[in-house]
Chains A and B, each alone.
Chain A
């Protein structure tokens, strides 16, 4: 090689490593920014929109740095990243400008995919119903939403936006009466053709829906679900609902409902409430019609006298529309809000008529047979079921609820609508009394641990020590346990609150608690010791206090406050976090692991980091080692070939030992050293690899390597890229692929560890069992876990140096311990047994384990 050539290569290596390190730094900073933004949502902080602006700017700049970096390492390879970045950036800017962005979704969205995060797409009514159906798993008639996007294309394709604006302007300028303006707009809409793509989408969704009800002629309930409707402002009764419409009328119904957005009363209502006409965005819900025996309305509080702690229920035979409109007599019930939901008052009306479905569509009045006229339209059993269900919905949405329901002929309860109920709590009276009431209740403990989900819970303590306890968990109790466990998901719908001794606010269970909005405090240290079984407590997970006894007033106080999560700033932060902090690209072998698959800044960060490591490894593999970096084989007392690539102060190498193999004592990389120490812990590598049965062997033979696994790091050798605070370790042990990426320095905010585990010999059941074992062990050790089949991804961040080192040590033990286990995972029992084995292994070496990292203690 000529001198000039060598120097040129040397320089390009220098640029390469500098760029790689810049990517690492930006990656780290980015993870810190994202996690700080998430922290702000915990409710523990006071922030304003200025904070959101500056955090977004920082995330944008870091993402750009990352893209620039990967473009230097791999010129021209990932140009799609720029498009992805610009797309995400413009979405974030729109959100920040407060311009509601009509999301570019499909024209329709099936009910089983909807939850409250899709309010922009499907309107509030559909979003609430989707949440009830899919998160709370209650019965909601099946259906689909025609989205806000569909509305936008209906209005745009036909130039309706402009035409409507001309008319509303004329109305605002008093050139037209509201009736005239409304009439003109409604005529315009009626005369407008539905665009073909929308028509096709609706036909397709209807087809899917009707497939479920073979043989019957489908009829639908078609309802408005506008932005803002059923949320803070109820727009109650402003828009149209159509019942029992034949399927072939659907598109006409759609136009009628869109037109109802421009009824004279709706236009007046908007003007009075200060809504602009630009904010009219109408989605529509289309649901299979159910034929109800009884329908009604439930209020979870008496709006006039909420302090009485009662629910109000009105019901009648047949359809519920006459109750909602106040047209007909109905039965009234008052039910206590507390278990066992005793009825305190029953008034049975004489019901002479009921509204029923007509055979060929539409509804009609018919007379009630004599025996039904003075009979109660709800049984005590149905009342209890209703009460229980309504409280579950209230707890989830965190405000008193106004719920429409129906029981069908088979007695199944369906939820038709749920929205916030305005109640008249005498605020000044509560405020006056509350501090006094609180001071009379002893605080059992306070400021212990971390709030994972805010809220107030009242109820009896129920402690869970073993899995069987979960099966007898009583409804409405407060779950108290030593550890957090994803198994608590089983009773999450029954729990009023959760308190644990150990656990992290970013763990899997905490995520579930947040999804179900169950007040949760983790890591209290000794709640299981401080609380007694069946003790009545009030859990204030707003301010982290546990009171002795039931304090209804505290709960009522928080019910009248609109939840802080619904304020503009929280919503904005949640929305921008979806574009910055969500991670969609978990699995680098998945098809969407591409620049165009990047939907958020976090995705870009993850993508760039993964590819940067890949480039570095390829470089080392194909060009042997670079003179500027120490590279060499690690000599270990266990059979593991591991090549180390030091990119900065990760190894201590003497000049005269340069060609000798590296020994663990030379490793100066904090995470790498901890990992290797764990791997070499007595017993960690001792588990005898069992002889693989012929069946398992055959199944491993038939698992072919996909092309994107055929990189040197996967089939070539075990590699680690290290520097003083960093380690990226790719291992192939047996048939498993393990990747660990960790950064540890003395600033906890920078620290993180990422662990990924995939593959293995033997069938998928055994592999899934091992995935379960790994995830249980990691979860108990505070990692945040995601499992998909046999892919396990575990993440942890922001611990002190000392604690991070212990986590890396633990990962080392775990990698050694689990390297062949799937072959032995014959039954679910084995998961528990090996978990015990692992715990014993750690306990028997606790002297070493506890000592690990202690020299980093500050």
Chain B
């Protein structure tokens, strides 16, 4: 590995296909990736170990994405959150940004789009930790 600190990413989406498709792309780029299908599990893990970047869906059973990202931001304000959702509305987008998310992406989206956003988030994170 290069000397730079490895950036950690948590991906949360209740549909396995999303995690499955994202994981290889991120891992090949050298990110440390953990994926979750359930928000409670993800939050439990986040409490053990804060991640640099969180990618989360909004609509989920139990604790929904908005509650999850609120909790994440409270626990670790420096974590950059990227919201991906199949039910994008102006309201949810506004609310997300009010809560300080880094970016908001409506599904379906192209892999290139999310890669670009993650790269930008990484630059911001690196600026902070160096």
Chain A residues proximal to chain B, CB less than 8 Å: 40, 43-51, 431-432, 434-436, 438-439, 542-543, 554, 557-558, 561-562, 564, 567-570
A450 and B57 CA atoms in complex are apart in Å by: 28
Instruction: Spot the interface stretch: B22-30, B40-48, B64-72, B121-129.
Output: B22-30
Q: Per-residue CB proximity of B19-61 to A under 8 Å, as 1/0? A: 0111111011110000000000000000000000000010100
List 12 interface pairs A-B (beta carbons < 8 Å), by A numbering. A45-B111, A46-B18, A46-B21, A46-B22, A46-B84, A46-B111, A50-B107, A51-B108, A432-B1, A434-B27, A436-B30, A561-B24
Q: Is the beta-carbon distance between B1 and A46 smaller than 8 angstroms?
A: no
Closest Cβ of chain B: how far from A510's Cβ, in Å? Answer: 19
Q: Once the chains bind, are B16 and A567 in contact (CB under 8 Å)?
A: yes
Smallest Cβ-Cβ distance to A53: which chain B residue: B86
Bound-state CA distance A434–B28 (Å) is 6
Give the chain B neighbours of A436 by CB distance below 8 A: 1-2, 30
Report if B80 contacts A (CB, 8 A).
no
* In the bound complex, CA of A435 to CA of B4 (Å): 13
**Shortest beta-carbon distance, B24 to chain A, in Å?**
6
Cβ–Cβ contact B21 & A43, under 8 A? yes
Q: A45–B107 Cα gap in the complex (Å)?
A: 9
On chain A, the residues within 8 Å of B111 by CB distance are 44-46, 543
Are A49 and B24 touching (Cβ within 8 A)?
no
Name the distance in Å between B102's Cβ and chain A's nearest Cβ. Answer: 17
Given A45-B108, A46-B107, A435-B1, A568 contacting B16 (CB threshold 8 A): yes
- Is B90 in contact with chain A by the CB < 8 A criterion? no
Nearest Cβ distance between residue A367 and chain B, in whole angstroms? 52
Partner of A435, one of B15, B22, B29, B57: B29
Shortest Cβ distance from residue B1 to the other chain A in the assembled complex, whole angstroms: 6
- Selected from A431, A554, A568, the residue in CB contact (under 8 A) with B17 is A568
Q: How far is A554 from B24 in the complex, measured between Cα atoms in Å?
A: 10
B15: contacting residue among A40, A557, A561, A569, CB under 8 A: A569
**In the bound complex, CA of A400 to CA of B18 (Å):** 23
Q: Is the CB of B108 within 8 A of A438?
A: no
Please indicate the chain B residues that have their CB under 8 angstroms from the CB of A570 in the complex: 17
Provided the pairs A49-B15, A435-B30, A569-B15 are in contact, do residues A564 and B20 lie with their beta carbons within 8 angstroms?
Answer: yes
Known: A432-B1, A435-B1, A435-B28. A47 touches B108 (CB 8 A): yes
> Between A and B, how many residue pairs show CB distances below 8 Å?
79
B25–A45 CB distance below 8 A: no
Residues of A within 8 A of B57 (CB): 48
In the complex, the chain B residue whose C-beta lies closest to that of A567 is B17
20 new A-B contacts, CB < 8 A, other than A432-B1, A543-B25, A567-B20, are A44-B110, A45-B109, A46-B17, A46-B18, A46-B21, A46-B107, A48-B15, A49-B15, A50-B59, A434-B27, A436-B1, A436-B30, A543-B28, A557-B27, A558-B24, A561-B24, A564-B20, A567-B16, A569-B16, A569-B17
Contacts of A567 in B (CB 8 A): 16-17, 20
For the residues of A in contact with B, the DSSP-based class is: helix
Chain A residues with CB under 8 Å of B108's CB are 40, 45-48, 51
The answer to whether A48 and B28 have CB atoms under 8 Å apart is no
Please encode chain B, from 87 to 98, with 1 for each CB lying within 8 Å of some chain A CB and 0 for all others. 100000000000
> How far apart are A833's CB and chain B's nearest CB, in angstroms?
44
* A435–B86 alpha-carbon span in the complex (Å): 31
Q: Which of A45, A46, A434 has the most CB of B within 10 A?
A: A46
Contacts of B87 in A (CB 8 A): 50
CB atoms of B110 and A45 under 8 A apart: yes
Residues of chain B lying within 8 A (CB to CB) of residue A50: 59, 86-87, 107
Task: For residue B32, give the distance in angstroms from its CB to the closest CB of chain A.
Answer: 8
Contact indicator B17/A561 (Cβ below 8 Å): no
In angstroms, Cα B27 to Cα A558, docked, is: 11
The answer to whether B114 has its CB under 8 Å from any CB of chain A is yes
- Give the one of A45, A48, A568 with max B CB within 10 A: A48
**A47 — which chain B residues lie within 8 A by C-beta?**
17, 86, 107-108
Q: Which of chain B's residues has its CB closest to A54's CB?
A: B86
The complex places the Cα of A821 from the Cα of B15 at a distance, in Å, of 56
Q: Which of B1, B2, B17, B110 contacts A48, CB < 8 Å?
A: B17
Please name all residues of chain A whose beta carbon is closer than 8 Å to the beta carbon of B28 when the two chains form the complex. 434-435, 438, 543, 554, 557
With both chains docked as a complex, state the minimum distance between the C-beta of B2 and any C-beta of chain A, in angstroms. Answer: 8
CA distance A434 to B86 in the complex (A): 32
- A44: which B residues are within 8 A, CB to CB? 110-111
A543 / chain B contacts, CB cutoff of 8 Å:
25, 28, 111
Q: Which of B13, B20, B109 has the most CB of A within 10 A?
A: B20
CB distance from B75 to the nearest CB of A (A): 26
Bound together, the chains give a CA A724 to CA B87 distance in angstroms of: 37
Q: How far is the CB of A725 from chain B (nearest CB, A)?
A: 27
Residues on B with C-beta less than 8 A from A435 are: 1, 27-30
Give Cα A103–Cα B51 distance, bound, in whole angstroms: 47
Q: Which chain B residues lie closer than 8 Å to A542 at the CB level?
A: 24-25
Residue contact B20 to A48, C-beta cutoff 8 Å? no
Residues of A within 8 A of B27 (CB): 431, 434-435, 557
A529 to B1, CA, bound (A): 33
Find the residue from B28, B57, B107 having the highest chain A CB count within 10 A.
B28
Which listed residue (B16, B20, B25, B107) contacts A51, Cβ 8 A? B107
B25, A48: Cβ atoms closer than 8 Å: no
Nearest Cβ on chain A to B34's Cβ, whole angstroms: 11
User: Which of A436, A439, A554, A567 has its CB near the most chain B CB atoms (within 10 A)?
Assistant: A567
A173 to chain B, nearest CB (A): 28
State how many angstroms separate the Cβ of B84 from the closest Cβ of chain A: 7
Distance from A577 Cβ to chain B, minimum over Cβ atoms (Å): 14
Most buried by A among B16, B17, B86, B107: B17
- In the complex, chain A residues whose CB is within 8 Å of the CB of B30: 435-436
Is B16 within 8 A of A46, CB to CB? no
Residues from chain B with Cβ under 8 Å of A45 in the complex: 108-111
B7 to chain A, nearest CB (A): 11
Complex: how many Å from CA A45 to CA B23? 14
Contact B21 A48 (CB under 8 A): no
Q: Which residues of A contact B1 (CB under 8 A)?
A: 432, 435-436
Give min CB distance, A53 to chain B, whole Å: 9
B14: nearest residue on chain A (CB-CB)? Answer: A48
Q: How far is the CA of A46 from the CA of B19 in the complex (A)?
A: 9
Question: Smallest CB–CB gap between B113 and chain A, Å?
Answer: 9
A564–B25 contact, CB under 8 A? Answer: no
Complex: chain A residue closest to B87, CB-CB: A50
| Chain A min CB distance to B91 (Å) | 17
Chain B contacts of A432 at CB under 8 A? Answer: 1
Measured CA separation A432–B24 after assembly (Å)? 12
Output the least CB separation between B38 and chain A (Å): 15
Cα-based distance from A50 to B89 in the complex (angstroms): 14
Residues of A within 8 A of B114 (CB): 46
Residues in A whose Cβ lies below 8 Å from that of B15:
48-49, 569
What separation, in Å, do the CA atoms of A569 and B107 have in the docked complex? 13
Set of chain A residues within 8 Å of B107, measured between Cβ atoms: 46-48, 50-51
For residue A561, which residue of chain B has the nearest CB? B24
Could you say which residues of chain B place their CB within 8 Å of the CB of A40? 108
- Complex: how many Å from CA A438 to CA B27? 11
Residues of A within 8 A of B25 (CB): 542-543
How far apart are B83's CB and chain A's nearest CB, in angstroms? 13
A434 vs B16: C-alpha distance in the bound complex, in angstroms?
23
Q: Which residues of B contact A439 (CB under 8 A)?
A: 2
Q: Are B18 and A48 in contact (CB under 8 A)?
A: yes
A301 → chain B, closest Cβ, in Å? 19
CB distance from A236 to the nearest CB of B (A): 24
Distance to closest chain A CB from B129 (angstroms):
19
Task: Report A-chain residues with C-beta under 8 Å of the C-beta of B110.
Answer: 44-46
Within the assembled complex, what's the spacing in Å between the Cα atoms of A189 and B104?
56
B59, closest chain A residue (CB): A50
For B2, what are the chain A residues with a Cβ–Cβ distance below 8 Å?
436, 439
Distance in angstroms between the alpha carbons of A569 and B14 in the assembled complex: 12
Chain A min CB distance to B19 (Å): 10
CA distance A510 to B19 in the complex (A): 27
Chain B hits for A438, CB < 8 A: 28
Q: Which of B1, B22, B24 has the most CB of A within 10 A?
A: B24
